[in-house]
């Protein structure tokens, strides 16, 4: 299914959580000199215009990144993420929002590599254009990221952060992410894997999470953020989460300290909540 366009949701509460956590993980890998790869199975367009086009129709960013945009009292991790967005908007107006490929490109060092997959026929050329300045550091491929991931593991430097981020429009994405992660762990058990998921009123999420927790790994972290109560008609995403295998050791404490502030800032009603769970080695 190729109807999904992330531009409708750019900069919303789910993007804030996902990209804040991604920046934390990449920052941790940057602490060692050895290079690594960033692999994105569903990269999207890479960058999004917030003041026109799809993003402006629902303006979901107004209750996401815009609520953090002008704050000067954020803890270091959140402040660093917001600064990445500010750097993309040097005139001080919030007009552009970086997708995960651009977040990664701005944090990776010269020896690190990006491997990006996108299947959508409209988003792929946009991704190519937005990654053009990365030169040989980035390889952008038009194709199914689930299939492409197999060919890349294990990566030559034996270090990698893998973001698995399908749209979940197709219900088969739920079992596919479990299969993809299970296969990836067989090929490259020491990689850092971050699986993003939406929180919807659908039955597929709970068994997926149970299956992920049963995978043969010594450590994982699950974080989720809900910003409002589910709608009466059953439609819409009221929260999102990340399931991370082999998380950086500091990530749990970082999120434990910042999630209360993030939840209060992005809340749309009094049911907003967060969860943080881990299996530690």
CA–CA gap between residue 28 and residue 276 (Å, rounded): 19
Q: Which residue shows structure tokens 């950086």? A: 248
CA–CA gap between residue 199 and residue 237 (Å, rounded): 6
Q: Given 15, 40, 112, 165, which residue is catalytic?
A: 165
Alpha carbon distances (Å) from 183 to 42, 50, 137, 152, 267:
17, 37, 26, 12, 37
3-state secondary structure of 152: helix
Say whether 165 is catalytic: yes
Long-range pairs, 199-207, Cβ under 8 A, ≥24: 199/224, 199/226, 199/237, 199/238, 199/239, 199/240, 199/241, 200/168, 200/236, 200/237, 200/238, 201/230, 201/231, 201/234, 201/235, 202/171, 204/171, 204/174, 205/174, 207/174
Alpha carbon distances (Å) from 278 to 29, 86, 219, 223, 264:
20, 32, 7, 9, 22
Q: φ, ψ for residue 132 (rounded to 5)?
A: -60, -40
Exposed (0-12), middle (13-18) or buried (19+): which is 12, by Cβ within 10 Å?
A: buried
User: Which residues are catalytically annotated?
Assistant: 165
């Amino acid at each position: 299914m190729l109807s999904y366009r992330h531009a409708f949701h750019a900069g919303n509460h789910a993007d804030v959580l996902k990209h804040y956590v991604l920046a934390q993980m990449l920052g941790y890998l940057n602490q060692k000199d050895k290079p690594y790869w960033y692999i994105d199975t569903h990269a999207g367009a890479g960058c999004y215009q917030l003041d026109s086009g799809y993003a402006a129709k629902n303006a979901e960013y107004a209750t996401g990144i815009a609520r953090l945009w002008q704050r000067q009292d954020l803890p270091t991790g959140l402040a660093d993420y917001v600064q990445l967005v500010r750097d993309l908007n040097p005139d001080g107006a919030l007009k552009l929002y970086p997708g995960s490929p651009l977040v990664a490109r701005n944090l990776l060092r010269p020896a690190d590599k990006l491997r990006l997959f996108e299947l959508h026929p409209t988003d792929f050329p946009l991704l190519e254009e937005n990654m053009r300045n990365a030169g040989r550091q980035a390889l952008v491929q038009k194709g199914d990221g689930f299939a492409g991931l197999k060919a890349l593991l294990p990566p030559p430097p034996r270090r990698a952060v893998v973001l698995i981020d399908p749209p979940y429009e197709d219900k088969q994405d739920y079992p596919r992410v479990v299969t993809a992660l299970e296969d990836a762990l067989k090929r490259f058990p020491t990689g850092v894997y971050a699986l993003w998921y939406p929180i919807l009123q659908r039955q597929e999420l709970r068994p997926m999470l149970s299956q992920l927790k049963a995978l043969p790994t010594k450590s994982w972290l699950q974080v989720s953020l809900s910003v409002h109560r589910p709608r009466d008609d059953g439609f819409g995403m009221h929260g999102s989460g990340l399931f991370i295998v082999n998380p950086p050791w500091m990530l749990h404490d970082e999120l434990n300290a910042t999630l209360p502030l993030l939840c209060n800032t992005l809340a749309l009603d009094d049911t907003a909540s967060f969860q943080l769970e881990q299996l530690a080695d």
